[in-house]
Every structure is written in C-alpha cells, then in structure tokens.
Homo-oligomer: A and B are copies of this chain.
Amino acid sequence: MIQAPLDHDALRKALEAAGLRSTSQRLAVYDQLAAMPHHPTAEEVFQAVRSSLPKISLATVYKALEALVAIGVVGRLNAADGAGSARYDARSEDHYHFRCLRTGTIHDLPTEFDPKLIEHLDPLLAEDLRRQGFQVTGYRLELLGYRRTDGRDA
C-alpha cells in the first residue's frame, strides 16, 4: 500500500513551516487528492472537492494544488504527451507510474522493486554526463501500456 497520506495535523505543520496558512480549501484538496487512486486532473479534484466545499472555485483548486506542490507533499505529473491537462499525485517521494495509452489515466506502481534504479545506471554514463555538464538529481520512470478495462478506469 503505497504510503500513508498525511493527516490534518501533519499537513498544517507542513504548510506552517513554509509560511503558508492552513485553510479548509487546502486541507480538502489534499484529502480528496489522497483519496483518489488514479492521479486526477485539477478539474477532477475540483469536482471531488465540491462535495465537501460546494462553493470552492476552480482557481482556488489550482492555487491549493500549487501550494501543496510547493511544500513538497504533492507532485505534479506531466500530461500524456504534451496535450491535455496536468495530473496530481499525493505522494511526494520517488515512485513509478503506469500510464494507460487508451485512457490516459495514471496508476501507481508497487515499489517493492528497485527503489534506487538510478544507482544501476551505468556509472560510466554518469561520469560521462557529468563531464558534459549534466548534473543528475533525479529521474522519472514511467511504464506505458494498456490497462484491462474492469472498473476504476474510464
């Protein structure tokens, strides 16, 4: 099971530590995001959050997501191939994604394997890159394919 989402106290502290205020909108956005298994778009988060905060606006959802990304408790994922909208992820640490080429949805991958993939990359390559002026600080691995249609997928 992925990772325990932050509770309100932890999230309040994280916001506070960054000099940001903890508002009901930010908490609600985080809660809804953490509860959605397929990393949703801002619009999807908006629709979900309306159930608890009917008067929230889409702009506020964008701002809240931006704040959560800024403090590092939420990640923003790129769109399928440059088109469409961004997707958000309540996990902050490195992990892998599976992107369904049919629906565009993104799923978390179990991370029992290879948590430090980059250490396996050819050390010679790393040396080579450094020499060329590339300082590598992280990586992103995404598996592509098709998800059996049987439920949570659209």
Identify the A interface with B (CB < 8 A): 76-83, 85-87, 98, 101, 107, 109-110, 112-114, 118, 120-122, 124-125, 128-129, 133-148, 150
Contact = CB atoms under 8 A, between A and B. Distances in A.
A146 to B, nearest CB: 5
Given A82-B79, A122-B114, A138 B144 contact: yes
Contacts of A147: 133-135
A138 B145 contact: yes
B86 A76 contact: no
The 10 lowest CB-CB distance pairs between A and B, nearest first, are A82-B86, A133-B148, A78-B78, A113-B122, A136-B145, A137-B145, A138-B144, A76-B81, A113-B125, A140-B142
B121 A114 contact: yes
A100 to B, nearest CB: 8
B76 A78 contact: no
Contact of A120 (B107, B120, B129): B120
Contact of A76 (B82, B122, B138, B148): B82
Nearest to A81: B76
A94 to B, nearest CB: 10
A35 B15 CA distance: 46
A97 B76 CA distance: 19
- Give the interface centre of A78, A121, A133 by most chain B CB atoms within 10 Å: A78
